[in-house]
């Protein structure tokens, strides 16, 4: 997946950003990729894994997360709901599936579409979201400057025609060029709901520089996803082998 994106990510960005004028969307995206580690680091990225915990506003852990991905669309994710149970989803690059507990405690395996799998992965892996931003380049515009998460930022707006009731803004640090976060305004029957996502605790991971905390702020109520393990190019691809029940479902369909 990352290899397919590289021509898009780096073929677009040819002009340097000028100090005395607002940057273009291409400028911001190019600088953000360089802040992650640059073209070479992304080219050598073949697998990615993380372990972390989702915590409520009071700090209480509620979901433990294990996620591994590899080129070719391979995925395995395990979500353990503390004191409740566990769910899994994954793909060997061809067949996508999920596993959920039933009311009687047995495990139910289901085949899912690749689109559903991608949505599930993006809820956990925001690094992938960053690397796919250039796919929306023709819908982007830089609309000014502001302070976001206590840092001076450029504001890039995505005008997505496919989601007319939602606006999306991306905030790029003026000092580090990193993406500091994302803001959406959802239109509901009860009024507008503001959702801010903050990317924090940036640290070196091999040749990359990645965040280790994602904070979701919905109208002032914060839920955090904090990773204690983030590794690249260290996944044993045998973990993506399909479970026997999934193979049976695949062969029946």
Q: What is the tens place of the pLDDT at every residue in 56-112?
A: 999 999 999 999 999 999 999 999 999 889 999 999 999 999 999 988 878 999 999
Residues in the chain: 253
DSSP 92: E
Q: What is the CB-side half-sphere exposure of residue 240 using CA atoms within 13 A? A: 21
Residue 67: the pLDDT is 97
Q: What is the tens place of the pLDDT at every residue in 130-140?
A: 878 888 888 89
Using 50, 70 and 90 to split pLDDT, how confident is the model at 45?
confident
pTM over 0.75: yes
Distance CA 230, CA 210 (A): 9
H-only helix segments in 136-240: none
Using 50, 70 and 90 to split pLDDT, how confident is the model at 1?
very low
Asked if 28 and 142 count as a contact pair (C-beta separation under 8 A), the reply is yes
Q: Which of 178, 195, 139 is nearest to 29 (CA)?
A: 178
Hey, what CATH topology would domain 27-252 get? outer membrane lipoprotein receptor (LolB), chain A (2.50.20)
Above 90 in pLDDT, residue 8? no
């Amino acid at each position: 997946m990352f290899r397919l994106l590289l021509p898009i990510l780096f073929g677009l960005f040819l002009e340097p950003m000028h100090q005395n004028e607002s940057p273009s969307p291409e400028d911001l995206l190019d600088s953000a990729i360089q802040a992650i580690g640059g073209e070479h680091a992304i080219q050598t990225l073949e697998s990615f894994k993380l372990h972390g915990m989702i915590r409520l506003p009071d700090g209480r852990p509620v979901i433990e997360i294990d996620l591994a991905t590899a080129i070719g669309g391979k995925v395995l994710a395990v979500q353990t709901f503390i004191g409740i149970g566990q769910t899994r989803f994954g793909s060997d690059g061809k067949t996508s599936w999920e596993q959920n507990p039933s009311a009687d405690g047995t495990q139910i395996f289901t085949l899912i579409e690749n689109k559903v799998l991608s949505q599930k992965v993006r809820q956990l892996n925001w690094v992938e979201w960053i690397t796919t931003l250039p796919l929306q380049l023709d819908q982007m515009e830089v609309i000014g400057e502001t302070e976001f998460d206590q840092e001076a930022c450029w504001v890039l707006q995505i005008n997505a025609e496919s989601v007319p009731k939602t606006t999306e803004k991306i905030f790029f640090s003026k000092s580090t060029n990193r993406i500091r976060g994302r803001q959406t305004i959802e239109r509901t029957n009860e009024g507008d709901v503001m959702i801010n996502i903050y990317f924090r605790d940036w640290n070196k991971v091999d040749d990359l520089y990645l965040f280790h905390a994602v904070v979701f702020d919905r109208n002032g109520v914060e839920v955090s996803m904090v990773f204690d393990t983030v590794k690249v190019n260290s996944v044993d691809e045998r973990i993506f082998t399909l479970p026997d029940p999934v193979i049976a479902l695949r062969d029946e369909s």
